[in-house]
């Protein structure tokens, strides 16, 4: 019987994209797949001898999280948690863990929804993990999740400045800016650790949303930052309008009485940008959303119990029935994951043949104005409610023209980009309805 792969071996196999899905214990085929990991894998000693770690997340179950660290004999290592949902007895439980430093992000509106882990090793090198999963058991065992794991970022020489060691994508400066905006004393050591690390091997962009008002050209919100990145770095070979913009999320917000103002005039205007386009109002690009139907949930592995990760209010859907025309079923037959509902969130643009992809965004951000921003000041700015974080993949930073996502006769020896759901998409039928709460 073969020895299971270490996490470092999995990471080496996953290069250059470093994207993983979570293992589902009830789906045995996911357990032996090197593209699938559990949370404890992120603490594998093959990645380095852990010195301390930081978790920025929305929902935390401290008892479950400590079980993961204890499983790797790391339960006494310093751990810092910044979280966004306060549960009953949470503070008492946090207080009972001596190696734990924590902060609850209290907000009047919106949520702290980012999901970032930073792991520092004994030699002061570090790795960053950007994920779609909350830190409690059901997210990691009964929902589909995705995560990106950075290459090892080694300690810079003492003579280096904090501005040294950035990647061509500016990942380091983006992460430092994001950490600093919290203005929390418990994060100051983490700002220093990141500032002293060498991120030159990172090939993705860090994209974040920070609550507040933002004007055009600023990077602290998804609508402007994603659109600017695509306008600068995304090349679509030919007939751009034939390339579909696809969103796949676990939650859906309210967009208005028609698609014109926000969905097509704001969100799609950003997602459809490329280096030969002008950001016209109400883009003509095709937009499709993957979100589970009632049938998807009822035929899923845990039926209605498996819908715990899905949020779309019935009243909201009834107020925007036009949106059903954009909806497509959740299907992941190729990977045997159709029966497990998705908590992962991703955005991409795919070719008419469904074998190529112009860009990919893995993120905590659902399709909502709270995450991406709603227009204010007569279109001169946006207002964002949530903290969100994701990583943007653009082919030119991987020395590619497009990402390959489907096997064909001319790419048999090419590393395919890890892609979770099935293409082409399956439209809702006339009698289908989205799963609503």
| pLDDT per residue as tens digits for the range 120-153 | 999 999 999 999 999 999 999 999 999 999 999 9
For residue range 8-58, list pLDDT tens digits in order: 999 999 999 999 999 999 999 999 899 999 999 999 999 999 999 999 999
pLDDT at 59 over 80: yes
Quote the pLDDT of residue 411.
63
Residue 433 is classified by DSSP as: -
CA neighbor of 350 nearest in space, from 407, 274, 403: 403
pLDDT of residue 372: 94
278 has a pLDDT exceeding 80:
no
Rg of the Cα trace of the chain? 21
Q: Running DSSP on this structure, what letter comes out for residue 151?
A: P
pLDDT for 53 equals 98
What was the pLDDT predicted at 412?
67
Please state, in angstroms and rounded to a whole number, the distance separating the CA atoms of residues 44 and 71.
Answer: 10
Judged by DSSP in three states, 180 sits in helix
Q: What is the pLDDT of residue 284?
A: 81
Per the CB < 8 A criterion, the answer to whether 23 and 144 are in contact is no
- Which of the pair, 216 or 425, is modelled with greater confidence? 425
**What CATH architecture applies to the domain 7-195?**
2-Layer Sandwich (3.30)
Contacts of 278 (CB under 8 A, 6+ apart): none
Of 404, 290, 425, the residue nearest 345 (C-alpha) = 290
Question: Do residues 59 and 84 touch, judged by C-beta distance below 8 A?
Answer: yes
**Angstrom distance (rounded) from CA 14 to CA 40:** 18
Percent of the chain at pLDDT above 90? 84
**pLDDT greater than 80 at residue 93:** yes
Across the range 370-393, mean pLDDT stands at: 90
Give the helix/strand (H/E) hosting 206. strand 205-209
- Number of Cα atoms under 13 Å in the Cβ half of residue 135: 29
- Mean pLDDT for 273-289 is 80
Residue 79 has pLDDT above 80, yes or no: yes
Rounded Cα gap, residues 224 and 266, in angstroms: 9
Q: CA 63, CA 69: separation in Å to the nearest integer?
A: 10
CB atoms within 10 A of CB 259: 19
The whole-number average pLDDT for the span 234-251 is 92
The pLDDT of residue 280 is above 60: no
Residues in the chain, total: 437
Which residues belong to the active site? 113, 343
pLDDT given for residue 38 in this prediction:
98
Return the domain boundaries, the chain: 7-195
pLDDT of residue 1: 53
pLDDT in tens, 302-328: 999 999 999 999 999 999 999 999 999
> What pLDDT sits at residue 222?
78
């Amino acid at each position: 019987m073969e020895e299971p792969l270490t996490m470092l071996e999995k990471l080496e196999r996953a290069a250059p994209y470093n994207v993983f899905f979570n293992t589902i214990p009830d789906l045995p085929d996911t357990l032996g797949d090197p593209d699938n990991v559990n949370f404890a894998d992120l603490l594998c000693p093959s990645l380095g001898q852990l010195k301390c770690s930081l978790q920025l997340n929305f929902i935390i179950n401290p008892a479950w999280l400590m079980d993961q660290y204890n499983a790797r004999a790391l339960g006494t290592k310093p751990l810092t948690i910044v979280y966004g949902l306060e549960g009953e007895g949470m503070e008492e439980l946090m207080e009972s863990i001596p190696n734990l430093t924590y902060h609850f992000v209290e907000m009047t509106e919106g949520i702290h929804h980012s999901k970032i882990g930073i792991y520092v090793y004994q030699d002061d090198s570090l790795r960053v993990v950007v994920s779609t999963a909350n830190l409690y058991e059901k997210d990691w065992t009964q929902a589909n999740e995705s995560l990106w794991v950075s290459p090892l970022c080694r300690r810079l020489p003492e003579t280096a400045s904090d501005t040294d060691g950035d990647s061509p994508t500016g990942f380091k400066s983006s992460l430092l800016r994001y950490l600093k905006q919290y203005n929390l004393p418990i994060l100051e050591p983490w700002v220093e650790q990141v500032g002293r690390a060498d991120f030159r091997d990172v090939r993705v962009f860090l994209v974040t949303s920070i609550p507040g008002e933002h004007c055009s050209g600023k990077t602290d919100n998804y609508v402007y930052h994603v659109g600017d990145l695509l306008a600068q770095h995304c090349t679509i070979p030919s007939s751009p309008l034939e390339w579909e913009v696809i969103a796949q999320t676990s939650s859906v917000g309210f967009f208005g009485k028609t698609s014109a103002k926000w969905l097509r005039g704001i969100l799609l205007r950003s997602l459809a940008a490329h280096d030969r386009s002008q950001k016209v109002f109400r883009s003509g690009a095709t937009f499709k959303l993957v979100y589970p139907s009632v049938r998807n949930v009822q035929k899923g592995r845990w039926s209605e119990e498996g819908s715990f990760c899905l949020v779309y209010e019935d009243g909201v859907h009834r107020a925007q029935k036009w949106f059903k025309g954009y909806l497509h079923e959740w299907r992941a037959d190729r990977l045997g994951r159709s029966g497990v509902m998705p908590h992962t969130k991703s955005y991409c643009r795919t070719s008419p043949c469904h074998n190529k992809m112009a860009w990919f965004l893995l993120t905590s951000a659902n399709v909502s104005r709270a995450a991406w921003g709603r227009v204010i000041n007569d279109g001169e700015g946006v207002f964002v409610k949530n903290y969100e974080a994701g990583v943007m993949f653009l082919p030119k930073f991987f020395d590619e023209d497009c990402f390959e996502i489907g096997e064909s006769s001319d790419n048999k020896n090419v590393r395919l980009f890890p892609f979770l759901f099935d293409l082409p998409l399956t439209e809702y039928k006339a009698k289908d309805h989205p799963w609503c709460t």
